[in-house]
A and B are shown apart, each in its own frame.
Chain A
Amino acid sequence: DADVTQTPRNRITKTGKRIMLECSQTKGHDRMYWYRQDPGLGLRLIYYSFDVKDINKGEISDGYSVSRQAQAKFSLSLESAIPNQTALYFCATGSGGGSEQYFGPGTRLTVT
């Protein structure tokens, strides 16, 4: 089984709808991250969390919210989706201290 899983893998939704992207990890890491990738560009950080009670905004948090339900679960919500939130979304985990991050397979979100 994959270390980091994301659901759904693909989603098409309409403008104004609320949508939740989910991430689960089996690495046992405390740190979890949500990134967004637009075509032809690198990933940008949306939110990150060091534990269940520690949530932090990243570079592009406007229009998004997150929930850390457990050490292993970190969800990203779009309260009212808009077309420019169409992108690839990646979840990642890490243990800090200079170690590497492990990324999920991504969710392709299209907002029409």
Chain B
Amino acid sequence: DAKTTQPPSMDCAEGRAANLPCNHSTISGNEYVYWYRQIHSQGPQYIIHGLKNNETNEMASLIITEDRKSSTLILPHATLRDTAVYYCIADDFQGAQKLVFGQGTRLTINP
């Protein structure tokens, strides 16, 4: 699976959009980009995933560049409850889905 690179930490003001970048320059054609988050030491929570088109759900939007080498997770109106570690993962959707979690981005939402 392709390696992903994320900034170790980010801050965002409550109510503003939080934009979390992820680099996955070696991603292959069979690999989706997944985003999960982990609040405190709880089990990771799925947020969104995409292949090449931009995706939006009730939690977030995912913008994938045309060359698929990077993506951005957008939380449109961040709240204090969005403070968490966010993981960007590239995984082959035809494979075993052995998710490889890096160290993620620790997002802190400030009041």
CA distance A59 to B42 in the complex (A): 22
Cα–Cα, bound, A90→B99 (Å): 13
- Taking a contact as CB atoms closer than 8 A, the residue among B43, B97, B104 that contacts A94 in the complex is B97
Q: Give the size range of A's interface with the partner.
A: 20 to 34
Partner of A42, one of B42, B43, B87, B96: B87
Instruction: Show the binding face of A for B, using Cβ within 8 Å.
Output: 4, 31, 33, 35, 37, 40-45, 48, 50, 56, 58-59, 88, 90, 92, 94, 96-98, 100-106, 108
Chain B, interface size category, equals: 20 to 34
User: Across the interface, do B41 and A108 meet the contact criterion of CB distance under 8 Å?
Assistant: yes
Supposing A42-B104, A44-B101 touch, asked if A100 and B34 sit within 8 A by C-beta, the answer is yes
B49 at the A interface (CB under 8 A): yes
